[in-house]
Amino acid sequence: MGACLAVDEATVKSRHIDRQNKKDYNAERRVVKLLLLGTGGSGKSTIVKQMKILHGTDSSSQSGTGAGTPGLTQADRVAAVDTCRSNAVDSMGVLLSACSRLGYSLGSGLEDARVRVIKATESGCGGGVYTSQLAQDIAALWGDVSLQKVVIRGNEFQLCDSAPYFLTHATRLATPDYLPTDEDILRARSMTSGIVVVPFQTKELKFELVDVGGQRSERKKWIQCFDNVTSVLFIISLSDYNQVLYEDNTTNRMRESEKLFGEILNCIFFKRTPFIVFFNKVDLFQQKLKYAKIDNYLPEYSGTQDYQEALNFIKKKFLSKNKFPERDVYSFETTATDTNLVKNIFGAISEILLNKMLSNAGFE
């Protein structure tokens, strides 16, 4: 009798575990796992920040599917103060170094400001030494005619895309009660290292956005994230056509992105996985077309500097690499710092993925 009871208890416990495992499995199947890939500086992390702004996340979570109140928290903003200030200091340091190397001279009365800024950059903690005096120095230097000429030649050295933004707002960043705005945080640049899982939820679906570093040294970690991917979200920076990599300072960034895209797109792991492709930084691309000829950097291009013609060339260059024609590839032109645009595009993506999930489940 006691043995029978023991067997019954074991059976009940086993069935309970089976039911829970099935429940967990079904819950996992309802989570859309988006693997966010692209080269360094393409705008991947900006997309992650947009999801926090639009949908809210449990920012302390590295897994799971919980969702929070939309918008960045006070803690998010406080944590970004040093990054925003560092972006201003480091950007000015890069410009001053390039100014000297390119043979430009600063205007009179700026030497003391230059020395103080260089000292701050060499300290390695620019955000931590960001005083009102330093902010005034940066603002004064930013107004110099020679530095404005240097910015136009920013493709000849490693200048952050958001440098003009933070240098323009240098004095605001120094106020004692400064808290970064949404735009400050979206434009702040910091290198992603490792794997970050950001859960968020729309009205229809639960998402896990998996962000991994885009630099070459980080890519060996990507394979860890390949399992159970609903869709790959690949980010391509349109404005990269006249820039070189951070990593080796010789390889054209767009060619690196094209090579990487082809490898990931045709990876056997993703043979049937839908791809969502963001042709990002439309705003910067349009600006560059006014002064940087594409065929100087991509000699195979024979068109004009017209935006639509240039865009079509780049899109065809990338999308033609798909060797699995039965696999769906959806492309969008984006400016990742534009919250309303990203919101509308993700609404379209949610509908596409929901319909695909329903179709796979037998519902048309």
Confidence band for 26, pLDDT divided at 50, 70 and 90: very low
Q: Which of 6-15, 26-35, 166-175 has the lowest mean pLDDT?
A: 6-15
> Residue by residue, what is the 3-state secondary structure of the chain?
CHHHHHHHHHHHHHHHHHHHHHHHHHHHHCEEEEEEEECCCCCHHHHHHHHHHHHCCCCCCCCCCCCCCCCCCHHHHHHHHHHHHHHHHHHHHHHHHHHHHCCCCCCCCCHHHHHHHHHHHHCCCHHHHCCHHHHHHHHHHHCCHHHHHHHHCHHHCCCCCCHHHHHHCCCHHHCCCCCCCHHHHHHCCCCCCCEEEEEEECCCCEEEEEEECCCHHHHHHHHHHCCCCCEEEEEEEHHHHHCECCCCCCCEHHHHHHHHHHHHHCCHHHCCCCEEEEEECHHHHHHHCCCCCHHHCCCCCCCCCCHHHHHHHHHHHHHCCCCCCCCCEEEEECCCCCHHHHHHHHHHHHHHHHHHHHHHCCCC
Is the model's pLDDT at 197 over the cut of 80?
A: yes
Distances (CA, A) of 152 to 88, 111, 163, 295: 17, 22, 12, 18
What pLDDT is attached to residue 64? 39
Most confident of 6-20, 42-56, 64-78: 42-56
Q: Does 313 or 199 have the greater pLDDT score?
A: 313
pLDDT score of 60: 38
Average pLDDT over residues 132-136: 96
Q: Which of 74-88, 111-125, 154-168, 200-214 has the lowest mean pLDDT?
A: 200-214
pLDDT of res. 22: 42
pLDDT band at 7 (very low <50, low <70, confident <90, very high): low
Please state which of the ranges 132-136, 213-217, 267-271, 290-294 shows the lowest mean pLDDT.
213-217
Residue 25, pLDDT above cutoff 50: no
**Can you name the residues that pair with 136 across neighbouring β-strands?**
none
Provide the pLDDT confidence category of residue 129 given band limits of 50, 70 and 90.
Answer: confident
Whether 171 has a pLDDT exceeding 50, the answer reads yes
Contact between 161 and 239 (Cβ < 8 Å): yes
Using the predicted structure, report yes or no on whether residue 173 has a pLDDT greater than 80: yes
- Mean predicted confidence (pLDDT) in 159-183: 95
Tell me what the mean pLDDT of segment 159-175 comes to: 96
Task: pLDDT band for 193, please (50, 70, 90 cuts).
Answer: low
Instruction: Quote the Cα angle for 197-198-200, to 5°.
Output: 140
CB atoms within 10 A of CB 184: 22
Which pLDDT band holds residue 191 (cuts at 50, 70, 90)? confident
Backbone angles phi, psi at 164, to 5 degrees: -60, -35
pLDDT-derived band at 281 (thresholds 50, 70, 90) equals very high
Section 277-281 average pLDDT: 97
pLDDT over 70, % of the chain: 81
Cα angle: 360, vertex 362, 35; to 5 degrees: 15
Q: How does the average pLDDT of the chain come out, rounded?
A: 85
Confidence of residue 131 (pLDDT cuts 50, 70, 90): very high
- Hey, CA dihedral for 356, 358, 361, 364, is it positive or negative? negative
Could you tell me the pLDDT band of residue 12, with boundaries at 50, 70 and 90? low
Structure tokens that stand for 337 in this block: 């710092």
Is the pLDDT assigned to residue 350 strictly greater than 80?
yes
Rg from Cα positions in the chain:
24
